[in-house]
Every structure is written in structure tokens, then in C-alpha cells.
Amino acid sequence: MNQSPVGNFFSSIGLTLDPQQHTVIEGETVQPITAGNCDNVISILGYYGLLAVSGPDAAKFLQGQTTCDVTSITEEQAGAGAYCTPKGRMISNFLLTKKAPDNYFLRMRDSVLNNTQSVFSKYIVFSKATQHVESDNYVCIGLSGDTAKKRITALFQPTASAIHHTTWLNENVAIQLDNDGLIYECWIRQSDIDELWPQLSEGLNLKGSRYWELLTIHHGTGDVVNDTIEMFIPQMLNYQITGAVSFTKGCYTGQEIVARMQYKGKLKRPMYRIKIASNLGEIAPGCDLYPAPAEVPADTTPSSIGNIVNIVNLADGSSEALAVVSSKHIEETGIVAGKPGYRVEILSLPYAITGSKI
């Protein structure tokens, strides 16, 4: 990676990639984020990849395979969605943009991109569409704060300010990720990064991408990663609340299961934001959560009551995470993380777990 153009660029601004594809600054630790605070930060998000789907049937193909309403995606409006198995279990989730007529980008965790592409390949051969990976051609960048808004406005000149509003500058794109215009994601072509980076980064503090993952956790947006493929249905990650599932678009792979849960089932394990009192590194996405030990008879092995979705270790030795957890046990027994039984505290989310789409 360090021999590639983007690797050389990372080195030039003091970044390296760790084994999880996170960009890191030597000696940097992740500090807790104050509720409601949005620092002026820029991060390069090495853990994301891009999958392109194009051709006359691209929209039709994606509409029949994903949870979101692809007809609502325009060159000025992105949207979130997921790709599920026929049993409604998520293979990946993504942010979807329309680059041009019949040309779409799906931004997802790099660790699930190849798996998604492999499953797509079984069905895309029956349509006039093709797919290819664009990750090597783009650098994914996150920006936050008032200064980020000024940088995006000056460079991309967006025509509106609303969540998922999208603006293209040649083949580069900026997507607003919140309603207040303080959080953005940009996908910049590697061939343009040297020119555009100074304009994007001016006045912003460079941080490693674990800060950005923590910011995403604060906003209650859960990502499927390699260790959680086929572990969750969309409602477990609160996608029915955040708008990543359409219940009016018609059929798609896994739709029967997802719709049955929405209209006939009872969701027992939604996603919460949690704090884990201590974490020596063994708790990772997919790891089990258990009832508090005091509530489990000494001669029994506790059953899992949930799983970690995404997690970031903090400088003070604690961790913040998104986790799918049994609501019953949160209310009645309390929960712990991992076999050591680290204490878990429930933290607030920016939306109510039950309720209408936000």
C-alpha cells in the first residue's frame, strides 16, 4: 500500500493504514466525543470501498436486490440501503449515489465489498448491467464542523442543505450526512487528491478514521463488517427508523422476511449505543453480549443476548459501540460484554428506537 500513489499521499500527511484499514496517526488516541459537539475535523476513511453498478438496467437491478427505493436516488440525492439474503440477513449496507444516468456508486465497508460483488454476480448476468470496484480510483474523506461546511460550500457549491444532498464536481462528490450541514463525506478521485486536499482540509484538524467511526456510532448508524455478514436483519440495525428500508417499493431479495418483521413480528433485539467500562481489545464486531452475571445461576452458562455491531476503543480504557441487544434484558437484568463480563451502560441515540422514519 505504501508504494501506491494513495499510500504515498497518506505518508505525506502523516497517515498510515492499520490491518483493519483504518487510517492512523502515530501516537494518536481516540478521545470521547461530547454529546452535541461537532469538532472541525477531517479524516480519510480507509475502511470504506466503492462498488460501481452501471448500464441500462442498473437501476432496475439494484431496485430488485436492495432495501432502498432506487427510484428516489438522483444525482442530487443519495440514500442508504442494505443488501440481504433471501432470509433477510444483511450481507452489506451502503450509501448509494447516482453519478450519471445508469451509473451508481455503492459505498460500503471494504471488508464486505468482495462478498457483495460475488453475490451480485449471480444475478447481474441476467440484466444489462455490469459491476466493478472503484475503490482504487477514489479516496473517501469525512469532514465535520462549521469549517467543513464552509470548505464544502466553497468547493462544491451545493444547491441545497439537507441530509443526503449530493453535489458533483466533475467526477468528485460531496454528500451531506446530517440535517444541519455539519457532517459530510467526499469521494475524491486519486488523480485529483493533490489538488483538492488543500482546499478541503484548510482549517480542519486531521484525525485518524477511528474518530470518524466513533462519530458514526454517536449518530446511530451501524455498518455490516466481515465478521457480522448475515448476522442481522435490517430492523436490528434500526434501518426502519433511519430510512434505509422502503416498505412501499415492492419486491427485493429478502423483502418477505423484512416486511413480515415490520408488520407481523415483534423486534426483540434493536440496536443501542453502549459504553463498555473496560476493553483489552478482545471485544470486536460480532462478539456476544450476556445477561449481568448476578442474574445467572452459578452452575449455568449464559446464552448470548446480543452482539457488537461496531466498536471503538477510547483513550480512557473504555469503549463505545453500537450493539444489537435484547430489550428485555436491558430493562430487567442489565448486560455485560464478552466472557470477562465487562459492565455495559446504555447511552443515548439521536433518534427513538421505536417510531417513524426520521
Tens digits of per-residue pLDDT, 252-278? 999 999 999 988 878 999 999 999 988
Q: Please report the pLDDT score of residue 300 as a whole number.
A: 64
All three cell numbers of 102: 445508469
Give the per-residue pLDDT at 355.
43
**Contact predicate 301/293, CB 8 Å:** no
Q: What is the pLDDT of residues 3-30, one digit of tens each?
A: 567 778 999 999 999 999 999 999 999 9
| Contact (Cβ atoms closer than 8 angstroms) between residue 209 and residue 43 | yes
Q: Is the pLDDT confidence value at 280 over 90?
A: no
What are the cell numbers at 87? 432470509
Bridging pattern class, strands 271-276 and 166-169 = unpaired
What is each CA distance from 306 to 113, 133, 302, 348, in whole angstroms?
A: 25, 33, 12, 18
Average pLDDT over the chain reads: 92
Please, are residues 137 and 190 in contact by the beta-carbon 8 Å criterion?
yes
The whole-model pTM stands at: 0.94
pLDDT of residue 297: 54
What whole-number distance in Å separates Cα of residue 192 and Cα of residue 153? 18
Residue 39 grid coordinates: 469538532
- Spatial neighbors of 317 by CB under 8 A, at least 6 apart, are 278, 279
So what's the pLDDT on residue 84? 98
Q: Quote the pLDDT of residue 294.
A: 52
Cα separation, 107 vs 14, in Å, equals: 25
